[in-house]
Chain A
């Protein structure tokens, strides 16, 4: 008998395949099954920009403790196509178990790892066709994990409820046959996977970033969305479309992003709470509209789903390369707010907040996410909405209403057409208090001051950065947006008592305490998913503090936990 192989506490499963072969489906099904069984799960994917062919992979991490980040090492690999193994070869180690059709597997990338042929499609054919291959594979994984197929059976029943009983039964049979194979392997090869289960997890939900943003928008009162499809932002549009009827949301696919932003502004003007969701290229097209929002002081919320640029870049990959785009988008000077949620909770709560803040200050609010968070999912507690409200700032106008009347804090109560006796006029030209074109240069100065004054009020609403780790740190890690959980886990693994992490979920306006945190540290390390460290530049511009040490990644992938551990270790 071979040496016993024990995998404890957590396991990283990877499915690699050509596009359209169902590695997504298998990963999604298993994620749900594991969650129902009481495991923590984290799943993420990387894909080529194509509908069929190529090589993609889905990671499914299963753990006894809460996990919200991806890891590099592969514990179990299921290649589902001939090119799959090659696609993930760098991630294969001696500890990787590889299972698959014999023509898809090989020992060429590792000497010691177990590579075993399993005839998934052969079993599927015996049952009724190769269409059941993925279900056999899913069952196989459950056998490996020694997890009763009942969870999978229930899911398959639900999933195929609308199809024939025959299809349900064949899927269940496929799952069982796969399961037996998995068990058999564990027995024959002396493999044991021991991950503790927690029954309370099954009451949690599994969502991805797109759903979290979409639900947050709904919670914020979003009832209008106009957008042009662009990866990776489209998930939010699809989510809102799917739920449009239930939540009274007008959903319109615009002819281009220029129309999308101008329609969304029109919607806010008429009293709705609108969203435009896009990626870098679309946001670039919206710039003039964002400038317009600044001038006409009309609220607007934009979801900017980042992917690597410039230009078309890598359409299906991830990057944090559009901070400066969002910060400087639009000509002229006007206030704006930029949120950068770090995890699914923040994606939900900040998307919700974006609508209230936009309405309160009559400014454009951008929610910066990226492909990594939008396409990643894990189990979370249901969002607590008890403290949330949809704050509306629309007033009924009187006969003398002036849309841009000067006020103490620069914010003029916002009227909308058709509500009250007044008239509501907006103008993209410099305008007077009524909203009419002016070339009176004194008025110009007063209006610029009025608009910029809103920054003072906005400062009261800046979300402070979150300090994770000891107050008395020597080394301070810095990150913004979606690196939150990756850095957090790396920090846990490093386990140093003088290491802390400062995370920003609002990147503009920058919180005034920033400099205090930086000056306290002996060493500051910026971690960003871009090539030029845009946030470090912003911090230097705002505080004068130069961050010397940077860990930057811009190959289209998010950081892996082990990778960060290594890179941070090199610097401290």
Chain B
């Protein structure tokens, strides 16, 4: 599909010049074009922050809801209409902080959705406080002596919960990110893509250069289907591995496991149910 299909023309984008989100926006458009996904058959659910504004900046259906909650409508949309491609997108604060509980439990649910998390290790929208992924010692106007909390490790959490697809990429490497995102969207089941991204305004520590210096690429010898090895990779912090960390292709999806899709694959919302007839029958049994 032509990448211009997703362009919205001349729009006012609220991100700072040089923001990593611009890169991610292009990565998403390129991925969708490569996978031939029409805007009409795509839903992007997002929350609050700078990253969740992304679906406002390309042509798609979107549910820009509450802070931290986007995975919840995303999983509902997918179960009501499995014919749609569904992405939940947000930042590290949105998805791992406010939305932490939904992150955990939707890995358990394993809906066929792609979970894109822009991870810049800082809060942008609220102007520079620590995020769940901020490194220890990171000084902010609130964490005045530096962050004292252990950074949240989304990959380790996901692997520990046997998530069906876990990957990390970097907004500064478009080709790698597109390739990872293509795999994630094509994967049947829950797919987490944590995207490292610099915040040019509020994070002067984890810069573009820092991410370059502190990451490395997994090579072909790495087997992402080995869960123990995947966990070892997920807890590496000296240098962060980029690539598909873990994959379990054996898990049934949430939608496929639902009662309503056992005998028919027709999306639930399209179905005609003989409610009155069946309710009358049910009432007979209550006599």
Contacts and interface: CB of A to CB of B under 8 A. Distances in A.
Bound pair (A, B): yes
Contacts of A270: 43, 76-77, 80-81, 84, 269
A428 B73 contact: no
A226 B75 CA distance: 11
A327 B73 CA distance: 24
B76 A264 contact: yes
A417 B279 contact: no
B185 to A, nearest CB: 16
B132 interface: no
Contact of B279 (A385, A416, A428): A385
B276 interface: yes
A289 interface: yes
Nearest to B264: A248
Interface string A238-276: 000001111111111011101100111111011110100
A211 B278 CA distance: 15
Interface in A277-319: 288-289, 292, 296
B104 interface: yes
A258 B56 contact: no
B62 A426 contact: yes
Given A204-B287, A250-B79, A417-B43, A266 B72 contact: yes
Main secondary structure of the interface of B (DSSP, over half): helix
Nearest to B41: A418
A423 interface: yes
A341 interface: no
Nearest to A385: B276
A131 to B, nearest CB: 26
A218 interface: yes
A259 B102 contact: yes
Interface in B41-99: 41-43, 45, 48, 53, 55-56, 59-66, 69, 72-77, 79-81, 83-84
A255 B287 contact: no
Interface residues of A, number: 65
A437 interface: yes
A206 B259 contact: no
Interface residues of B, number: 54
A206 B286 contact: yes
Contacts of B83: 418
Most buried by B among A255, A262, A383: A262
Contacts of B14: 437
A255 B260 contact: no
Contacts of A206: 286
Contacts of A269: 63, 73, 76-77
Contacts of B102: 255, 259
B40 interface: yes
A223 B267 CA distance: 11
A46 to B, nearest CB: 24
A428 B48 contact: yes
Contacts of A161: none
B273 A219 contact: no
A248 B53 contact: no
Contacts of B128: none
Given A221-B275, A248-B271, A263-B72, 10 more contacts: A223-B271, A245-B260, A255-B102, A262-B76, A266-B74, A269-B73, A271-B80, A289-B69, A417-B81, A425-B64
26 contacts: A203-B287, A224-B80, A224-B268, A244-B260, A245-B259, A248-B268, A254-B105, A258-B69, A262-B66, A263-B75, A266-B45, A271-B80, A271-B269, A272-B76, A272-B268, A272-B269, A292-B65, A417-B77, A418-B83, A423-B40, A425-B62, A425-B64, A426-B63, A426-B64, A427-B64, A437-B14
